[in-house]
Amino acid sequence: MSAGHDHTGHSHGSGGHSHNHAAGANSKMLGIALALTATFLIVELVGAYLFNSLALLSDAAHMFTDAAALAIALAAVKIGQRPADERRTFGYRRFEILAAAFNALLLFAVAAFVLWEGISRLMVAQPVESGGMLVIAVAGLVVNLIAMRLLSAGKDRSLNVKGAYLEVWADMLGSAGVVAAALIIMATGWTWVDPIVAIAIGLWVVPRTWTLLKDTTQILLEGVPGHLELGEIRAAMAGTPGVASVHDLHVWSMSSDDVSLSVHVVLTEGADAETVRRDVAALLHDRFKIEHATIQTEREACIAHETVHP
C-alpha cells in the first residue's frame, strides 16, 4: 500500500437490541407453530395408513418437512443469538442460512419421492377411503392456517422463518388439494384423483423451494444482496465531496437481515479523512440502509490496486 494511507473507520448502527427483540418474537411463534405441526403430523401419518391415501401421505411428508423446518429454524434462532468468540468472530448467525438451505434440499427430496410414488399409483389403482381422508385433510388445513398466521410477522425479517413459512404455505395448499380430492372421490369414485393431487402437491412446491435455495446460496457465496446494486453504491460514494475514487468495494450479508460493506476511499487533495469517512458512512446508512461499513481512507490508491487496475 502507498504511504498515503490515512485512516480506517468502522461505522455501524445500534441494531443489536432490535435483533434480540425480533429473535425472541420469532422464537416464541416458531415454538407454538412447531408444537401444532408435530402433533398433527402424527395424526396425518396414521390417517394416510388407515385410509390408504397417497395425497394424505404427500401432505404428511410436507408436514414432516414443516416440522423439521420449524425445529431447525427455532434452533437457528437460539444458536444465532450466541455471542461471537475467539474462534467465530462473526458469531453463529450464518447458521440460519445453513438451516434454510438444508430445508430447501429436504423439500426437493420429498417432492421427488411423492412424484415417484404418485406415478406408480397411477399405473396400479388402489382403493381410497375418502371419508376419513376428508376429515383429516380439513383438520390439517386449519392447523396450517394457524401456523401461517403465527409465522407471517417474522417471514420478512428472516430467511429461515421465511423458509418455514413457505413450507407451511405450500402444505396449506396441499391440504386444500386433499380436501378437494376427497370430495371428488366421494362423489365419483375416481380413486386416481388421489395420486394426481399428490403429484400436483409435489410439483407445486418445487419453484418456491428453488427460490429459497437460490437466496441462501447467494448469501453463502457472500454475493451482493438482491435489493442492492453495486454500481449505484459505488457511484454514490464517488460523488461524495472529498472522494477522488473508490476501490476494493465489497457488499455482502452474514444472514438474511443484515448488510455489511467494506471499501477503500481515495481522498481528494486537502480533504479531511474523518469528515469524508463520516459523510460516506452517513450516505450508506441513510440511502442504502447499510449499518455495518468499514471505510478505509487513503491519500493515494493502494499499489496492489493500481497494478491490477492501472
**Roughly what angle, to the nearest 10 degrees, separates helices 159-188 and 16-51?**
20
Task: Report the pLDDT value the prediction gives residue 123, as an integer from 0 to 100.
Answer: 80
Long-range contact list for 271-279, CB < 8 A, 24+ apart? Answer: 271/241, 271/242, 271/243, 272/242, 273/6, 273/7, 273/297, 274/7, 274/9, 275/242, 276/240, 276/241, 276/242, 276/243, 277/7, 277/9, 277/11, 278/9, 278/11, 279/240, 279/241, 279/242
Strands of 5-11's sheet, edge to edge? 5-11, 292-298, 260-267, 243-252
Averaged pLDDT, 281-290: 91
Q: Tell me the per-residue pLDDT of 96-144, one tens digit each, with 9 for 90 and over.
A: 788 778 878 887 887 787 788 788 878 876 777 778 888 888 888 888 8
Q: List Cα–Cα distances, 224 to 9, 21, 91, 114, 189, in angstroms.
A: 21, 26, 21, 35, 54
Q: Would you state the pLDDT for residue 160?
A: 65
Indicate the pLDDT class of residue 263, thresholds 50, 70 and 90. very high
- The sign of the CA dihedral 106, 107, 112, 114 is positive
pLDDT tens-digit map of 57-105: 777 777 777 787 778 777 777 776 677 777 776 767 777 788 778 878 8
131-172 per-position pLDDT tens digit: 888 888 888 888 888 888 888 776 666 666 777 787 778 778
Q: For the chain, what is the mean pLDDT?
A: 78
Q: Are strands 292-298 and 5-11 parallel, antiparallel or unpaired?
A: antiparallel
Domains annotated for the chain, with CATH where assigned, are 16-220 (1.20.1510.10), 225-308 (3.30.70.1350)
Q: What is the rounded average pLDDT of the residues 209-215?
A: 83
- Kindly tell me the burial class for residue 153, based on how many C-beta atoms sit within 10 Å of its own C-beta (0-12, 13-18, 19 or more): middle
Cell numbers at 96, concatenated: 440460519
